[in-house]
Structure 1
Amino acid sequence: MLLIQIIILAIIQGLTEFLPISSSAHLILVPQLSDWPDQGLAFDVAVHVGTLSAVVWYFRCEVITMARDWGSSCVQRQQTGESRLAWAVILGSIPVAVFGLLLHDLVDTTLRSPLVIAWATIGFGLLLWLADVIGRRVRDEHRLGWKDVVVIGLAQAVALIPGTSRSGITMTAGLLMGLTRTAAARFSFLLSIPAILMAGAYKTLKLIEQGSVEWLPLLLGAVISAFTAYLCIHWFLKLLDRIGMLPFVIYRLLLGAGLLYVFM
């Protein structure tokens, strides 16, 4: 891989993993539109490791507290501290794990079409705008009910369709369930930890079957994506209540329209 390709793809992954604009779509489309060779599975794994390390580090205090209280709740058989939120993250991660295993062949082949990405980008972008407009925005992530968690978890499974955006669809569901913008984003980011971990583990197993890899481009990609993702999470949460979802909706509509123009 060229150095410029490594840098650009790593930055794109770091930004798009947590913004509601679909990282998978961008990683698929950029090589196609730039005539670069496909970056390959190893690089995809590396940049996902980078974004995973960024979100874990950003929420490190919450993650440590949730893990501790989850362990206590298992021993005491009752909710303690942040154990409810930890259980919510676990429950919300089950649908994407199940559907990911069942549909991975379809996702890796047929659904990687630019036209699928274009329509998903537009359709789920409009749904994000609707949720932002009609959502009551009265609750934080600590007040989620189990029904809310199931809905958000099922929404995350829909993000297996390239162009949907995992963060975008989970924020959409969170807003429709009455979460504030910041709460919807925070819960989406916490949900991303097991989601990225599971996807990375699956891709790593496939990578082991392929044999040797070049480690230097992977390390560079992981570092750049981690740094970019950390900054993205910080500024997104800081500015979200001020700017809302509309800028991302507009971007999705323009991107989807551009893809339809190019590929239809």
Structure 2
Amino acid sequence: MAEACTNGVDTGFVALGYAKVAVLGIVQGITELLPISSTAHMRIVPALLGWQDPGSAFSAAMQLAALVAVISYFWGDVSQLATNTLRAVARRDFRDRHFRFSVWIILATIPIGVAGMSLSQPLNACGSPLRTLTIIGWACVVMAILLALAEIYARHRRTLEDVSFIDAMIVGIAQVGALIPGVSRSGSTLTAALALGLKREDAARFSFLLGLPAIALAGFKEVWELQKAHLSLDGWSILLVGLVVASISAFFAIWGLMRMLERFSAWPFVIYRGAIGIFLIVSVALGHLT
């Protein structure tokens, strides 16, 4: 199906209309914060239903839905971190644990910020070759293998209190992998945190807290790009529907992820990611998906 561009920005979601975008908002919200690649599902679902690809702009803007869900779910952690950091700054206590953790989060965001600006053009261009189903499929398979290795070899004994600056930077660098469609920000950071030996639920919490600035920057940047591209009023209202639906589904996705990691492990996601990746690679090779 033909690509839809608005002044060079991929805006396929506008042609889909409210109902279809609402459906994709549910899918995006659930998959954005689970380690299973929202990009893969944003390509698979429309392809299977015969719909137009909603485009990279839709996926990027949906980061704002993820931002709302993460802040809402981890409000206790976020408010405590922000409040204690401001208090530490006020009393000039720069050795305070909360202040240092906040600084680590900011520093750990620099790698993906630099990489994101450098790769913005090829990643967000209409018909970007990086959004091909084959590349997404292989990314899913590779991440499934890495997540499996983290489950097998890591001890899962450390807590959030044990996290160091080096840990934060390692997870921050791993976050850069999320720029590759199919890798998943949640998948790359959760895998890195698990590999560092954190308990599964603490690894997820660390992953989400560290990713907040990157999620916010990606979402607001895309909204700015859509503004510069003069997206129509109709386009904005369609996007708003997707954001509202995605925010609600993303909140429940976090809840499900935390329950899964607390009681079981990340193996269900390993199996699912691997299956999705193989499905994409084989389907493209056989000509069933294009």
**TM-score normalised by the shorter chain: which range applies?**
over 0.9
User: Which AA in structure 1 matches 2:76?
Assistant: C
Quote the residue 1:251 is aligned against.
272
> 2:107, 2:169 within 8 Å by CA — same for their partners in 1?
yes
C-alpha distance after superposition, 1:65-101 (max 9, x if no partner): 2112222334414232522332232222111111111
Q: CA deviation at 1:51?
A: 1.9
For the structure 1 residues 157 and 208, does the alpha-carbon distance in structure 2 shift closer, same or farther, using more than 3 Å as the test?
same
C-alpha distance after superposition, 1:229-257 (max 9, x if no partner): 11111121122132211111111111111
C-alpha distance after superposition, 1:1-50 (max 9, x if no partner): 24441222111111111110011222233323332123256644553322
| Aligned counterparts of 2:103 and 2:161: Cα–Cα separation in 1 | 11
Structure 2 counterparts to residues 1-264 of structure 1, below 5 A: 1-40=16-55, 43-44=58-59, 46-75=61-90, 76-80=92-96, 82-108=98-124, 109-211=128-230, 212-214=232-234, 215-264=236-285
For the structure 1 residues 74 and 28, does the alpha-carbon distance in structure 2 shift closer, same or farther, using more than 3 Å as the test?
farther
For the structure 1 residues 213 and 24, does the alpha-carbon distance in structure 2 shift closer, same or farther, using more than 3 Å as the test?
farther
C-alpha distance after superposition, 1:127-154 (max 9, x if no partner): 0011011111111122111111111110
> 1:88, 1:146 within 8 Å by CA — same for their partners in 2?
yes
| Aligned counterparts of 1:9 and 1:193: Cα–Cα separation in 2 | 22
> 2:157, 2:198 within 8 Å by CA — same for their partners in 1?
yes
- Counting helix residues as a fraction of each chain, which structure ranks higher? 1
For the structure 1 residues 43 and 107, does the alpha-carbon distance in structure 2 shift closer, same or farther, using more than 3 Å as the test?
closer
User: Which AA in structure 2 matches 1:57?
Assistant: S
CA RMSD, 1 decimal:
1.9
SS at match of 2:277: helix
User: Which AA in structure 1 matches 2:175?
Assistant: Q
> 2:140, 2:183 within 8 Å by CA — same for their partners in 1?
yes
| Aligned counterparts of 1:6 and 1:17: Cα–Cα separation in 2 | 15
| Aligned counterparts of 1:193 and 1:150: Cα–Cα separation in 2 | 15
> 1:46, 1:221 within 8 Å by CA — same for their partners in 2?
no
Return 5+ residue gaps in structure 1 as ranges. none
Return 5+ residue gaps in structure 2 as ranges. 1-15, 286-290
Q: CA deviation at 1:59?
A: 1.4
For the structure 1 residues 253 and 40, does the alpha-carbon distance in structure 2 shift closer, same or farther, using more than 3 Å as the test?
closer
Deviates more, 1:34-43 or 1:177-186: 34-43
> TM-score, normalising length from structure 2?
0.85
> 1:85, 1:141 within 8 Å by CA — same for their partners in 2?
no
SS at match of 1:159: helix
